[in-house]
A and B are shown apart, each in its own frame.
Chain A
Amino acid sequence: MIFMISPDLSFRKAGSFIKRSYLLQMSYKLEFFLRLFFAFFNILTYYFVAKLIGTSAAPYLKPYGGDYFSFVLIGIAFSTYLMVSLRSFSESIRDEQMMGTLEAMLVTPTDTTAVITLSALWSFIVASLRVFLYLLIGIFLGAKIANINVIGAGILLVLTVICFGSIGILSASFIMIFKRGDPINMLFMSTSELFGGVFFPVELFPGALQGISHLLPMTYSLNGMRHALLQGYSLGGLAPDILALIIFSLILLPLSLLIFRYAVVRVKEEGTLVQY
């Protein structure tokens, strides 16, 4: 996604942003490693919840392999991308505003969209590292991730990042104009975990509520990931979720960029670009 937005975005420039963020992050080493370390406890909590549930939830989990711990592990791991998307774009604007570096960046030929998008890149790298750790810890604790469709999971991951990233850019547009009180963030933060099937299958919902689940990209992302990682579905089997995510991407990406460009034009006219 990052490299489709603007011809201004090159891999080398992306590398410079990653290097800068890495150096800044490593200047706070303790915080970085503590965050990764405490991810372990999050997984451990659900490991014991899964032990408590035992096989009682098996009928609901049959389409996903029947094991609750494996089910919830995928949910927690890949919902990380949505949480990161919702935070990272708006936080990167806010951080640069507060540090005072935004103006110095925006007076260069690198356009505003590129600056904000690339500033969020490091968060996605850290999120990927965290997802990898979650899966690794999960496998160590007995999650049944063995029959993996790697290509299918890769496609789903890319589409997930595009969809969630687009929602993050929409959220950043609101932050840019209103500074605080972003409805996109609030809407997706509060609904996605519940209706997206992070902790339990959406099939548990009554019909009307399932309708809400089907409006969220999270539902298709997690459903597809579970089928790809826990049951090794073929690309044909994953097609409905992949297709749904493609449709979400085709709508959300151009829409979010359009709204973000409008936000940039507006704050430049108001002179509030660097205010927070």
Chain B
Amino acid sequence: MKRDEFTSLNSVSINVREGEVFGLIGPNGAGKTTLIKILCTLITPTSGRAYVNGYDVIKESSDVRRSIGFVTTDERSFYWRLTGRQNLEFFAALHNIRGNEARERIGELLRSMDLSERADELFMGYSAGMKQRLAIARGLLNEPSVLFMDEPTRSLDPGAARSLRELIKSYIVNEQGKTVFLSSHNLDEVEDLCQRIAIFDRGKVRATGTVNGLKEGLGSEATLCDVFSSFTGKQFSDEIAFIKPRIERSHRHGGFGRRG
């Protein structure tokens, strides 16, 4: 039997500075999630090297995991029949945080995420916004230097997404000073949060730079949407349509793309 193989990332070279919020934008299937999973040691690259906090993701994978947090948009990544607090206690144990230290850390994170009052309710009763805030609390359990966030506002309504962005800015970036590496389909979010970005398409980095720097390269009136189009040859609105199947599905030919 021959295994199906394809190259999902090719010649990717990115440097992220300590303390910055770095954004990855690109269409579905561009390789964004694959890159994040490689950096989180969930996937091993077949060639090349990647370092997180100076640790090699292949040779020093446990050091990498000790120093990072991962916030996934998948709300299934929690135990639905446990409470928010019980979920955090379990994941704290996986980070080797126990006893009083765990209790204090969890208490503080629940307060910061505005979840204290609902912490002892079952996760299955949480709203989408609460679930995502709990995912952030889990990502911060081990006080990581780098926080990876894969489309953190994907499943949220505009209001909840705005609140979460505020939380990311005020708590994670300003108060905690974390380095944040996030992927997003939302250009407003990227402009709002990120100092620098990389535009991804078909497994390759098409451009990197500051949001303003990339826009200025195209003229004073250029938007991030124009930047995206100029480097990928695609309209960003078409790509966004890909992630709104209920609204636009009938206008598409084919299926939904793989998450990037």
A binds B: yes
Chain A residues closer than 8 Å to B3, beta-carbon distance: 270
Known A103-B42, A108-B65; judge A27-B95 contact (CB<8 A): no
Chain A residues closer than 8 Å to B234, beta-carbon distance: none
The answer to whether B90 and A16 touch across the interface, beta carbons within 8 angstroms, is yes
CA distance A265 to B89 in the complex (A): 28
A111 beta carbon closer than 8 Å to chain B: yes
CA distance A198 to B34 in the complex (A): 48
Chain A residues closer than 8 Å to B41, beta-carbon distance: 107, 268
Q: How many A-B residue pairs have CB under 8 A?
A: 84
The answer to whether B42 and A105 touch across the interface, beta carbons within 8 angstroms, is no
Chain B residues closer than 8 Å to A13, beta-carbon distance: 93-94, 96
B111 beta carbon closer than 8 Å to chain A: no
Chain B residues closer than 8 Å to A265, beta-carbon distance: 44
CA distance A111 to B66 in the complex (A): 11
The answer to whether A107 and B68 touch across the interface, beta carbons within 8 angstroms, is yes
The smallest beta-carbon distance between B113 and chain A, in angstroms, is 16
Which residue of the partner chain A has the closest CB to B96?
Answer: A109
The smallest beta-carbon distance between A14 and chain B, in angstroms, is 10
B242 beta carbon closer than 8 Å to chain A: no
Known A99-B79, A104-B72; judge A271-B34 contact (CB<8 A): yes
CA distance A273 to B44 in the complex (A): 11
The answer to whether B94 and A268 touch across the interface, beta carbons within 8 angstroms, is no
The smallest beta-carbon distance between A17 and chain B, in angstroms, is 8
Chain A residues closer than 8 Å to B78, beta-carbon distance: 101, 104
The answer to whether A20 and B79 touch across the interface, beta carbons within 8 angstroms, is yes
The answer to whether B82 and A24 touch across the interface, beta carbons within 8 angstroms, is yes
Chain B residues closer than 8 Å to A12, beta-carbon distance: 93, 98
A110 beta carbon closer than 8 Å to chain B: yes
The answer to whether B40 and A107 touch across the interface, beta carbons within 8 angstroms, is yes
Contact of B65 among A19, A101, A107 (CB under 8 A): A107
The answer to whether B70 and A107 touch across the interface, beta carbons within 8 angstroms, is yes
Known A12-B93, A106-B42; judge A23-B138 contact (CB<8 A): no
Chain A residues closer than 8 Å to B90, beta-carbon distance: 16, 19-20
CA distance A134 to B82 in the complex (A): 31
Which residue of the partner chain B has the closest CB to A104?
Answer: B77
The answer to whether A24 and B44 touch across the interface, beta carbons within 8 angstroms, is no
CB-CB contacts below 8 Å: A94-128 with B: 99-101, 103-111, 115
Contact of B66 among A104, A109, A270 (CB under 8 A): A109
CA distance A269 to B47 in the complex (A): 10
The answer to whether B65 and A268 touch across the interface, beta carbons within 8 angstroms, is no
Which residue of the partner chain B has the closest CB to A272?
Answer: B43
0/1 per residue, A236-274, Cβ < 8 Å to B? Answer: 000000000000000000000000000001001111011
Which residue of the partner chain A has the closest CB to B69?
Answer: A107
The smallest beta-carbon distance between B45 and chain A, in angstroms, is 8
Which residue of the partner chain A has the closest CB to B3?
Answer: A270
Chain A residues closer than 8 Å to B42, beta-carbon distance: 103, 106-107, 268, 273-274
The smallest beta-carbon distance between A218 and chain B, in angstroms, is 33
| Interface residues in chain B, defined as those with a beta carbon under 8 Å from any beta carbon in chain A | 3, 8, 34, 37, 40-44, 46, 62, 65-66, 68, 70, 72, 74, 76-79, 81-82, 86, 89-91, 93-96, 98, 138, 142
Contacts A108-B95, A271-B43 known; 17 new A-B pairs at CB < 8 A:
A12-B98, A16-B94, A17-B93, A19-B90, A99-B79, A100-B76, A100-B77, A103-B42, A108-B91, A109-B142, A115-B94, A268-B43, A268-B44, A269-B44, A269-B46, A273-B42, A274-B42
